């Protein structure tokens, strides 16, 4: 193995250790960040931070938006774009983020 | 380290090594354009894999947001309110180079800068925004700067506001809308609202004249028309199927296929295409205007190793050319780049969302929203059926959400 290859492998290993999150969950959750802040940390008071909210709470709210039991301006329309598995995944991701 | 893991890494290293020139250990991503698409892609690659070296080439010294810029024209926000610096990107380890990208050598995988010097890349991200097809409107270039587009937020936004302030009460503001697709579908109609909002307050005898090349309002039509009737009766006059083909600054008039129309302020938005650097890099694929991409990675269908984001793309069905959409492009592209540069398969089913807010007055807002998921059967990204939609009615509550949206998305791309 060449020195260059070792260096590259080490750099990659360091990157992999840092990238602790599941890439699919991370990427899915990023679709919420435009309005709710990077990693679910909103910089405004008008829109709620998702980081650190209990998983069951996020799942319940998303499903309530989706079935119309929780009224909203836009979330009832966006929640319909995600299936149950995706909602679980999003909720799991945000629940694990520090506030 | 397990043998299997080591082999995986060694394989990935070879892949990255092949593409890496000059012996550097880190994979290199170069991003041209630090707007909604490019800044987002740069930040998210750096955040998700600090092992990748990310360099952004941006000719502006600060980011000025197109979304919300219509409020500057209406006098309801200032240019400072919509301007943000690039220091936040640097905190993520992104190198921000304030320069103009002159050319791309797709063989050598380098970008030449106008300031001299070149940047080598393993993957290049182009988020060039738009440039205008001035030739489509006779007399346009000679008519600037009296005739403005203000369709890129910045000096023209400030100058158009100045023209509106200088307009005497009773004067006519004329806005010409190009044929779709164009940047920000609801933008022209929001602009009509903002200028009318200003006139109602400061110049009640003035008029807003909209000449739309399209057969009808292209986005949120019923909501906009209701706002025009209820908030600005007698101020906004809307003409569909009125494509401006020529402008004349000497007589301050525009010509459509049928008519010549005069105005005191002429705001003519020419049709546009992907920004110049996309043309130079050879990634424009469609109608000499837009760049077709693989929506799982945003990689160009014309040139391997180059990814194109934002308004420059050949938009997929139901996908608007918006800042929010470009932000979504940036994230899907960043996720794909991290996987590709680590020798892994990118996510085959990316999801994107879009919410476009429009201020119909200083506080009341309407939206259009959509969710887009990659569909393997169609080999394309498509809007999720039954999801998305528009506001039930304009509201101040959505006004609060819209301003929150702006601050959060600016922080999401730059913070």
In a shared domain, residues B213 and B281: no
ipTM, two decimals = 0.91
Q: Is there a contact between B353 and A5 if contact means CB atoms under 8 Å apart?
A: no
Q: Report the range of poorest mean pLDDT among B6-10, B63-67, B332-336.
A: B6-10
CB spacing of A77 vs B387 below 8 angstroms: yes
Domains and CATH numbers, chain A: 21-95 (1.10.760.10)
Residues of A in contact with B338 (CB under 8 A): 19, 23
- Pair B156, B223 in one domain: yes
The rounded percent of chain B whose pLDDT value lies above 90 is 93
B293 shares a domain with B240: no
Segment B164-171 shows an average pLDDT of 98
Please tell me which residue of chain A has the smallest CA distance to B390. Answer: A74
Express each pLDDT in A36-65 by its tens digit.
999 999 999 999 999 999 999 999 999 999
3-state secondary structure (DSSP) of residue B107: coil
Residue B294 neighbours by CB distance under 10 Å: 16
Same domain, residue pair B40 and B123: yes
Q: Is residue B256 part of a domain?
A: yes
As a whole number of angstroms, the distance between CA B335 and CA B169 comes to: 52
* Residue B314, domain CATH: 3.50.50.60
**Domain final residue pick, B243, B270, B297:** B270
Evaluate whether residue B339 is within a structural domain.
yes
Question: Does one domain contain both B264 and B147?
Answer: yes
Is position B147 within any domain? Answer: yes
**pLDDT (0 to 100) of residue B25:** 83
Average pLDDT score over residue span B76-84? 98
Mark which of B314, B347, B380 sits at the end of a domain.
B347
B109 and B227 both lie in a single domain? no
Question: Contact at 8 Å (CB) between B177 and B213?
Answer: yes
Contacts of A5 in chain B (CB under 8 A): 10, 13-14, 17
Which pLDDT does position B24 carry in this prediction?
54
Q: With 50 as the cut, is the pLDDT of residue B3 above it?
A: no
In this structure, are B221 and B325 located in the same domain? no
Q: Which among B1, B408, B409, B413 is the top mutation candidate for probing chain A, defined by the most A β-carbons within 10 Å of its own β-carbon?
A: B408
Residue B8's alpha-carbon distances to A12, B166, B336, B411, in angstroms, are: 11, 66, 18, 36
The pLDDT tens digits for B139-149 are 998 999 999 99
Decide if pLDDT at A18 tops 90: no
**DSSP 8-state secondary structure symbol assigned to residue B170:** T
Mutate to test the interface with A, among B3, B22, B25, B325 (most CBs of A within 10 A): B25
CA B146 from centroid of its chain's CA atoms: 24
Confidence of residue A21 (pLDDT cuts 50, 70, 90): confident
- pLDDT at residue B379, as a whole number: 93
CA distance A57 to chain B (A): 22
Q: In this predicted model, which residue has the larger pLDDT, B186 or B14?
A: B186
Mean pLDDT of B258-284: 98
For residue range B196-240, list pLDDT tens digits in order. Answer: 999 999 999 999 999 999 999 999 999 999 999 999 999 999 999
Say what percent of chain A tops pLDDT 70: 80
Kindly give the residue spans of alpha helices, DSSP state H, lying in chain A: 3-18, 23-30, 33-36, 55-67, 75-79, 84-95
Same domain, B104 and B182: no
Q: How many domains does chain B have?
A: 2
Statement to judge: residues B12 and B122 lie in one domain: yes
Does B81 fall in a domain?
no
Contacts of residue B160, defined as CB under 8 A and 6 or more positions apart, other chains included, come to: B73, B148, B150, B265, B267
pLDDT at res. B109: 98
CA B198 – CA B176 distance, rounded (Å): 19
Residue B89 lies in a domain: no
**Intra-chain end-to-end CA distance of chain B, in Å:** 36
Give a yes or no: residue B213 inside a domain. Answer: yes
Q: How confident is the model at residue B7 (pLDDT cuts 50, 70, 90)?
A: very low
Is the CB of residue B280 less than 8 Å away from at least one CB of chain A? no
Domain boundary among B347, B366, B388: B347
Query: pLDDT band at residue B44, thresholds of 50, 70 and 90?
Result: very high
Residue B328 has its nearest CB partner, among A31, A43, A82, at A31
Task: Tell me whether residue B181 is in a domain.
Answer: yes
d(CA A34, CA B354): 9
Which chain B residue has its CA at the smallest distance from A90's CA? B351
Any domain includes B393 = no
pLDDT exceeds 60 at position B383: yes
pLDDT band, very low/low/confident/very high, at A2 (cuts 50, 70, 90): very low
Together in a domain, B154 and B241: yes
* Mean pLDDT of chain A, nearest integer: 85
pLDDT at A7 over 90: no
One domain, residues B207 and B277:
no
Q: Which domain holds residue B36?
A: 3-59+99-132+273-347
Query: Among all chains, which residue has been given the structure tokens 């920000």?
Result: B184
pLDDT average, residue stretch B337-350: 97
pLDDT, residue A14, reads 40
């Amino acid at each position: 193995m060449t020195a260059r290859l070792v260096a590259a492998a080490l750099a990659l290993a360091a990157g992999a250790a840092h990238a602790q999150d599941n890439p699919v969950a991370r990427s899915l959750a990023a679709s919420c960040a435009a309005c709710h802040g990077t990693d679910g940390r909103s910089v405004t008071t008008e829109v709620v931070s998702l980081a650190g909210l209990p998983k069951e709470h996020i799942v319940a709210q998303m499903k309530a938006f989706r079935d119309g039991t929780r009224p909203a301006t836009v979330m009832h329309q966006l929640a319909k774009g995600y299936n149950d598995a995706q909602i679980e995944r999003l909720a799991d991701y945000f629940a694990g983020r520090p506030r | 380290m397990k043998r299997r893991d080591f082999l995986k890494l060694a394989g990935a290293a070879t892949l990255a090594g092949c593409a890496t020139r000059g012996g550097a250990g880190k994979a290199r991503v170069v991003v041209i354009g630090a707007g909604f698409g490019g800044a987002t892609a740069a930040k998210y690659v750096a955040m998700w894999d600090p092992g990748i070296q990310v360099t952004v080439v941006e000719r502006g010294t600060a980011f000025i947001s197109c979304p919300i810029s219509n409020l500057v024209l209406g006098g309801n926000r200032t240019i400072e309110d919509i301007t943000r610096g690039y220091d936040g990107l640097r905190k993520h380890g992104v190198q921000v180079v304030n320069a103009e990208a002159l050319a791309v050598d797709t063989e050598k995988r380098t970008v030449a800068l106008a300031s001299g010097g070149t940047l080598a890349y393993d993957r290049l991200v182009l988020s060039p925004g738009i440039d205008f097809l001035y030739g489509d409107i006779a007399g346009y270039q000679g008519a600037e700067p009296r005739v403005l587009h203000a369709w890129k937020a910045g000096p023209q936004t400030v100058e158009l506001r100045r023209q509106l302030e200088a307009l005497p009460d009773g004067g006519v503001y004329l806005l010409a809308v190009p044929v779709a697709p164009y940047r920000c579908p609801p933008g022209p109609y929001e602009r009509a609202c903002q200028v009318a909002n200003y006139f109602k307050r400061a110049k009640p005898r003035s008029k807003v004249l909209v000449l739309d090349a399209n057969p009808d309002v292209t986005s949120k039509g019923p909501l906009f028309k209701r706002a025009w009737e209820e908030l600005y009766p007698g101020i906004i006059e809307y003409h569909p199927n009125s494509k401006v083909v020529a402008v004349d600054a000497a007589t301050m008039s525009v010509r459509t296929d049928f008519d010549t129309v005069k105005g005191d302020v002429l705001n003519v938005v020419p049709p546009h295409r992907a920004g110049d650097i996309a043309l130079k890099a050879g990634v424009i694929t469609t109608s000499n205007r837009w760049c077709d991409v693989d929506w799982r990675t945003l990689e160009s269908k014309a040139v391997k190793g180059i990814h194109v984001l934002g308004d420059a793309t050949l938009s997929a069905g139901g996908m608007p050319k918006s800042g929010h959409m470009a932000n979504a492009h940036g994230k899907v592209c960043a996720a794909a780049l991290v996987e590709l540069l680590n020798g892994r398969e990118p996510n085959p089913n990316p999801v994107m969302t879009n919410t476009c807010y429009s201020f119909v007055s200083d506080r009341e807002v309407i939206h259009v929203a959509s969710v887009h998921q990659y569909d393997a059967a169609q080999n394309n990204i498509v809007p999720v059926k039954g999801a998305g939609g528009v506001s039930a009615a304009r509201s101040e509550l959505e006004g609060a959400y819209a301003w929150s949206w702006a601050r959060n998305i600016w922080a999401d791309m730059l913070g």
